[in-house]
Amino acid sequence: MENTETLREWFERVDSEKTSSITALQLKSAFAVGNLEFSLSVVQQMIRMYDFDRNGTMSFEEFVALNKFLMKVQNAFSALERGRGYLSPEDVYESFDQNKKGRFRLDDFISLCIFVQSTRNIFNSFDTAKQGRVSLDFNQFVYCTANCRI
Protein backbone atom coordinates (compact mmCIF):
# COMPACT_ATOMS: atom_id res chain seq x y z
CA MET A 1 0.00 0.00 0.00
CA GLU A 2 2.06 2.92 -1.20
CA ASN A 3 -0.47 5.09 -2.99
CA THR A 4 -1.95 7.76 -0.70
CA GLU A 5 -5.35 7.44 -2.35
CA THR A 6 -5.37 3.68 -1.81
CA LEU A 7 -4.29 4.16 1.79
CA ARG A 8 -7.04 6.73 2.33
CA GLU A 9 -9.68 4.33 0.94
CA TRP A 10 -8.39 1.51 3.15
CA PHE A 11 -8.30 3.78 6.21
CA GLU A 12 -11.87 4.98 5.61
CA ARG A 13 -13.13 1.38 5.31
CA VAL A 14 -11.45 0.47 8.60
CA ASP A 15 -12.79 3.64 10.27
CA SER A 16 -16.28 2.14 10.28
CA GLU A 17 -17.55 4.68 12.82
CA LYS A 18 -16.29 7.62 10.67
CA THR A 19 -14.36 9.23 13.54
CA SER A 20 -11.27 9.99 11.40
CA SER A 21 -9.29 7.65 13.60
CA ILE A 22 -9.04 3.90 14.07
CA THR A 23 -8.77 1.93 17.27
CA ALA A 24 -6.54 -1.04 18.02
CA LEU A 25 -9.50 -3.42 17.66
CA GLN A 26 -10.42 -1.98 14.26
CA LEU A 27 -6.81 -2.23 13.09
CA LYS A 28 -6.49 -5.79 14.42
CA SER A 29 -9.64 -6.82 12.54
CA ALA A 30 -8.41 -5.18 9.35
CA PHE A 31 -5.10 -7.03 9.57
CA ALA A 32 -6.95 -10.30 10.13
CA VAL A 33 -8.84 -9.78 6.86
CA GLY A 34 -5.42 -9.68 5.19
CA ASN A 35 -4.34 -12.93 6.95
CA LEU A 36 -2.11 -11.13 9.46
CA GLU A 37 -2.97 -12.40 12.93
CA PHE A 38 -1.50 -10.03 15.51
CA SER A 39 -2.30 -10.12 19.19
CA LEU A 40 -4.13 -7.06 20.46
CA SER A 41 -1.04 -6.06 22.45
CA VAL A 42 1.09 -6.00 19.26
CA VAL A 43 -1.50 -3.86 17.49
CA GLN A 44 -1.63 -1.53 20.48
CA GLN A 45 2.14 -1.29 20.35
CA MET A 46 1.96 -0.43 16.63
CA ILE A 47 -0.39 2.41 17.46
CA ARG A 48 1.81 3.64 20.33
CA MET A 49 4.82 3.72 18.00
CA TYR A 50 3.10 6.20 15.66
CA ASP A 51 0.49 7.83 17.91
CA PHE A 52 2.07 11.26 17.64
CA ASP A 53 -0.75 13.05 19.46
CA ARG A 54 -0.91 10.32 22.16
CA ASN A 55 -4.68 9.89 22.02
CA GLY A 56 -4.61 6.09 21.83
CA THR A 57 -5.99 5.89 18.29
CA MET A 58 -4.50 6.25 14.84
CA SER A 59 -5.23 9.20 12.56
CA PHE A 60 -4.71 8.91 8.81
CA GLU A 61 -1.34 10.68 9.01
CA GLU A 62 -0.21 8.34 11.80
CA PHE A 63 -1.45 5.39 9.76
CA VAL A 64 0.64 6.53 6.77
CA ALA A 65 3.74 6.56 9.01
CA LEU A 66 2.90 3.06 10.32
CA ASN A 67 2.34 1.87 6.77
CA LYS A 68 5.82 3.09 5.72
CA PHE A 69 7.33 1.12 8.60
CA LEU A 70 5.30 -1.99 7.74
CA MET A 71 6.36 -1.77 4.08
CA LYS A 72 10.03 -1.67 5.12
CA VAL A 73 9.49 -4.67 7.38
CA GLN A 74 7.64 -6.55 4.64
CA ASN A 75 10.48 -5.89 2.21
CA ALA A 76 13.01 -7.13 4.76
CA PHE A 77 10.91 -10.25 5.36
CA SER A 78 10.64 -10.89 1.62
CA ALA A 79 14.40 -10.65 1.25
CA LEU A 80 14.90 -13.26 4.00
CA GLU A 81 12.13 -15.78 3.34
CA ARG A 82 13.44 -16.89 -0.09
CA GLY A 83 10.01 -17.59 -1.55
CA ARG A 84 9.00 -19.96 1.25
CA GLY A 85 6.45 -17.66 2.90
CA TYR A 86 8.08 -18.08 6.30
CA LEU A 87 11.38 -17.80 8.14
CA SER A 88 12.99 -20.71 9.91
CA PRO A 89 14.26 -20.45 13.48
CA GLU A 90 17.73 -20.14 12.04
CA ASP A 91 16.61 -16.98 10.26
CA VAL A 92 15.18 -15.19 13.31
CA TYR A 93 15.39 -15.56 17.08
CA GLU A 94 13.22 -18.47 18.27
CA SER A 95 11.14 -16.66 20.91
CA PHE A 96 9.21 -14.71 18.29
CA ASP A 97 7.80 -17.88 16.75
CA GLN A 98 4.38 -17.24 18.32
CA ASN A 99 2.78 -20.51 17.25
CA LYS A 100 5.91 -22.59 18.09
CA LYS A 101 5.83 -24.28 14.69
CA GLY A 102 9.46 -23.57 13.83
CA ARG A 103 8.43 -21.02 11.19
CA PHE A 104 8.07 -17.24 11.08
CA ARG A 105 5.22 -15.77 9.11
CA LEU A 106 5.10 -12.12 8.11
CA ASP A 107 3.01 -11.21 11.17
CA ASP A 108 5.57 -12.89 13.48
CA PHE A 109 8.38 -10.97 11.77
CA ILE A 110 6.49 -7.69 12.05
CA SER A 111 5.97 -8.40 15.77
CA LEU A 112 9.72 -8.84 16.16
CA CYS A 113 10.46 -5.61 14.30
CA ILE A 114 7.92 -3.71 16.39
CA PHE A 115 9.55 -5.03 19.55
CA VAL A 116 13.01 -3.99 18.36
CA GLN A 117 11.80 -0.53 17.22
CA SER A 118 9.91 0.07 20.47
CA THR A 119 12.82 -0.94 22.67
CA ARG A 120 15.13 1.21 20.55
CA ASN A 121 12.83 4.20 20.97
CA ILE A 122 12.70 3.72 24.74
CA PHE A 123 16.47 3.22 24.94
CA ASN A 124 17.05 6.39 22.92
CA SER A 125 14.78 8.37 25.25
CA PHE A 126 17.12 7.48 28.14
CA ASP A 127 20.35 7.82 26.12
CA THR A 128 20.15 11.61 25.92
CA ALA A 129 23.95 11.94 25.58
CA LYS A 130 23.89 9.45 22.64
CA GLN A 131 26.61 7.29 24.23
CA GLY A 132 25.04 3.93 23.42
CA ARG A 133 24.53 3.02 27.08
CA VAL A 134 22.18 3.98 29.86
CA SER A 135 21.83 3.56 33.63
CA LEU A 136 18.34 3.00 34.96
CA ASP A 137 16.95 3.21 38.46
CA PHE A 138 14.25 0.73 39.51
CA ASN A 139 11.33 2.98 38.50
CA GLN A 140 12.81 3.54 35.05
CA PHE A 141 13.39 -0.19 34.66
CA VAL A 142 9.76 -0.93 35.54
CA TYR A 143 8.63 1.71 33.04
CA CYS A 144 10.76 0.08 30.33
CA THR A 145 9.51 -3.45 31.02
CA ALA A 146 5.91 -2.23 31.00
CA ASN A 147 6.35 -0.41 27.69
CA CYS A 148 8.46 -2.95 25.79
CA ARG A 149 6.13 -5.93 25.95
CA ILE A 150 4.54 -7.59 22.98
| Domain ranges (residues) in the chain | 4-147
CATH level 2 (architecture), domain 4-147: Orthogonal Bundle (1.10)
For 65-85, write each residue's pLDDT tens digit.
999 988 888 888 888 787 888
Largest CA distance in the chain: 47
CB atoms closer than 10 angstroms to residue 15: 20
d(CA 149, CA 1): 27
Output the pTM of the full model: 0.66
Q: 87-101 pLDDT, tens per residue? A: 776 766 556 666 777
